Structure 1
Amino acid sequence: MSPMEPDGRAVFVNGYTKILTGAWSSEEFSLRLEADPVSVLAENGLAVEAGSRVDIVRIRDGEPDLQTQMQLWEIGRRSGHYVLYVPELPQLDVRDLADEELGGLAGGGGTSYCCNPCCCQS
């Protein structure tokens, strides 16, 4: 399989990035992507041939790999069956923080910082 040309690579990366950030920042965008992927892809610069099938995969084992996604896109261009990995946004570890941890986050570690030395001097 030949690698994607530089111009095609730039177009793909730009469109794929828009789709990822849209899916991660907007539930409405994510729902539209699932319901009508062909239109959403086209709106974001990744048009597919008429009659093509697009599968949006939200869960994938391992880390997302841009190179693999570009290879899958090229396979889709030849076969008419596109597979686009759009993983869910990773969840943050939300736990109760101890008072000591909160104090450190708020700048309360006993260290004082001043943005302008002359404002602290009288």
Structure 2
Amino acid sequence: MNEESAKITGRIIAKAWADEGFKARLLADPTAVLKAEGLAIPAGIVVSVVEDTSSLRTLVLPARPTDLSDDDLDTAAGGITAICNLCNCF
């Protein structure tokens, strides 16, 4: 994600926290809302939005990179530390 997309995503999250109607639209039709907020969603890409709650945490399993060998994957950092430091959920 580039810097501009990260800024837009942060603004969308803040707006969803502050505006229940916006959050409902985001959950119901994320592609339309994200496009309306300025994010480029390529044709053929399906976007889903889920809301974490006090009893539900979502772990996103990214697609396996096609340009890395099994040995490369074994030594990759994976990013879970950054996620856990961000939300303290795991």
Q: If the length of structure 2 is used for normalisation, what is the TM-score?
A: 0.54
With a CA cutoff of 8 Å and minimum separation of 6, indicate the structure with the bigger relative contact order. 1
Partner of 2:10: 17
Partner of 2:33: 40
Distance 1:32 1:61 in 2: 20
- Structure 1: state its 5+ residue gaps: 63-68, 76-122
- Structure 2: state its 5+ residue gaps: 64-90
Count of aligned positions: 58
Q: Alpha carbon RMSD of aligned pairs, Å? A: 2.3
CA 18–52 in structure 1, closer or farther in 2 if over 3 Å, else same = same
List per-residue Cα deviations over 1:62-106 (Å, max 9, x = no partner).
9xxxxxx9xx6xx6xxxxxxxxxxxxxxxxxxxxxxxxxxxxxxx
Counterpart amino acid of 1:47?
A
Quote the sequence identity (%).
Answer: 36
Choose between structure 1 and 2: higher strand proportion.
Answer: 1
Counterpart amino acid of 1:11?
E
Distance 1:61 1:41 in 2: 20
User: Which contiguous aligned blocks of 4+ residues in structure 1 show a shift greater than 6 angstroms?
Assistant: none
1:57 aligns with 2:13: no
* Rg comparison, structure with higher value: 1
